[in-house]
Amino acid sequence: MRLQTTVLGAGVIQGLIFWWLWHALKLGHWPATEPLAYTALLYAAFAVPLVIYCLQGIARFPAWLRRAAALAYLVVYAALGAYAAWASGATGRQTGLEPANVLAALVLGFVSLSLLCGFDVALRRWNYARLFNYTWRNGILLVTAAAMTGAAWLVLFAGASLMALIGVKQIKDLITEPAFIFPVTSLVFAAAFSLGLARAAMAESIRRFWLSISSWLLPLVLFFGVLWAAAVPFTGLDPLFKTKSAALIMLWFAALAVKFSNCAYQDGEISSPYPPWLARATQAAWLSLLPVVAIAWWALGLRVAQHGLSEQRLWAGLVAAIAAIYAVGYALSWLKAERWIASIARTNIVAAIVLCLGLLAFLTPLADIQRLAVSFHVRHVTAAHGAIEPDWNYLRWRSGRFGREALQGIAASTDGPTDGKWQKQATSMLAQTRPFETAPTVVSEAYVQEKLRVFPRQQMLPASFLKHVQASKQDWMFSKCLEASASCVVWLGDLNNDGQNELLLFNSERQMHGTVFTQSNDTWKQAGNFSSRGSDGKFDSARLEDAHIAQPDWSDLVVDGKRLRLQLNQQ
């Protein structure tokens, strides 16, 4: 009874705090006027009740430690929230919430709570069976509580809609009020979690049944791992790298192998889930994951060398590091043949600790992921000496205060193109007041020339085309190119042997498709479109300098005055 009171009480308080924060944001009073305070309270209000829920019913877990843990998570998550708002540069009624950072904070909370639940205070060490059982218990109950909360709202809306059919609309009006939504949602979630705690034995039975079935997928996964490792020496890595998502695919494969290995091992109480011959075979087959993870690292390294480090690649690096711990840790079990993958327990604990440390570093000033990504990005484009454009929109709108500080540095720097293009662009981006802000209403010829890069370089945009762009600046063909954060490329040449240049306007600097323009008496009109068949749509615009006109391999056939244009299959 005391357990239910604690959980329900935490749910009610959480709902009231959420309603108060929403009300403050809507009306514009404190704490919504202070982004650091508001986001700190939001993080803490979300985290602390979940800590209270997940620490209920833990065997040999003192009450003083439960209270200390709730206080510690309150302080840590309030600090994480305040720092997130500061790093985003939020002002006014902005919160600075970034989806990736929020998800990382949730993962950090769940994994760290699992480690806390699995720690045996009396023995002062981790007990893997304890960690496994409470991690799965909390995970199942959280998912079940979320599903039950959704079902409860479905019933409320169905009932309210039914009553509205006979003119009783007050119920529907009531359940759509924020003062009802936030407290009721939190209370229903808490009640569902509390009910799950009271029926923990049933959840455990369902878990064991599901894991036992899932464990038989491990031999299939490892069979493909062995098949892949055996085939790679003959196929080479070129087909793999051409996918441009090699690291992602291989890391997902490694994650599946880890998942099904843990389904088979469970809490380690059974010596082996398979017959002896299959147990030995799966343990040997796990060695195939070593080259999978190693080549995933290689593929990720090639992408970093080519395109530099971004936030996504930094997150991928953390995932790859965890995958390497699993691959090496589980492989070491081969040295101890007396027990099936004996090192799973120890490896899982090490991986969980490293994951928590990595997430904590990326979410704090220790190694803020946006700060690192911005620093690497600026260093990468600067080292290219103008051959690579900075991602202006990322620096201005998607990287918080660090991106804006980088723009200020570019605006005051002498690095980059010698014509001062970067300095002008950085200054223009800093002046923007909203994302993807377009060019000024009045577009000068100089502005058009700056936004349209001409190839071959000895060519110049015809004055008549400059006037055409000025007059048609709102057309979709030109508006994207004229945005403050964008630019396009143009190729000039005589494509139909009429003595006048045609103009190919590429939709962006990296897209191999666009619009063809022709001129007649200084008047330009759209003649058609162009694209590259079979291309992935991306190219290096600098290659237009060496572009040349090619005659068709196959001529058209004219029948009864109608031209038959041949479209051949790609060889």
pLDDT for 376 equals: 94
pLDDT tens figures, 428-463: 888 877 776 555 556 788 888 888 889 998 888 999
Strand order in the sheet with 523-531: 452-455, 488-493, 502-506, 513-520, 523-531
Least confident window among 39-43, 133-137, 238-242: 238-242
- Reference 89, options 38, 128, 36; nearest CA is 36
Q: Are 72 and 114 in contact (CB under 8 A)?
A: no
pLDDT for 59 equals: 87
b (16+ CB within 10 A) / e for 87-98: bbbbeebebbbb
Q: How far apart are CA 394 and CA 389, in angstroms?
A: 12
More confident residue, 426 or 570: 426
| 525 DSSP β-pair partners | 518
Q: Are 218 and 258 in contact (CB under 8 A)?
A: no
| 227 DSSP β-pair partners | none
pLDDT tens figures, 488-538: 899 999 988 888 899 999 877 677 788 999 988 888 988 888 887 655 556
pLDDT for 441 equals: 54
pLDDT at residue 570 is higher than 70: no
Residue 31: cis peptide before it, omega within 30 degrees of 0: yes
Of all residues in the chain, what percent are helix, strand and coil, respectively (each to 5)? Answer: 65, 10, 30
| Cα torsion angle, 434, 437, 442, 448, sign | positive
Q: How far apart are CA 83 and CA 181, in angstroms?
A: 29
Least confident window among 56-70, 112-126, 265-279: 265-279
Q: How far apart are CA 105 and CA 136, in angstroms?
A: 19
Give CA torsion, residues 61, 66, 69, 74, to 10 deg.
160
In this structure, the chain runs to a length of 571
Q: Are 9 and 176 in contact (CB under 8 A)?
A: no
- Residue 416: pLDDT band by 50, 70, 90 thresholds? low
Indicate whether this model's pTM tops 0.75.
yes
- Residue 335: pLDDT band by 50, 70, 90 thresholds? confident
Percent of the chain with pLDDT strictly greater than 90: 51
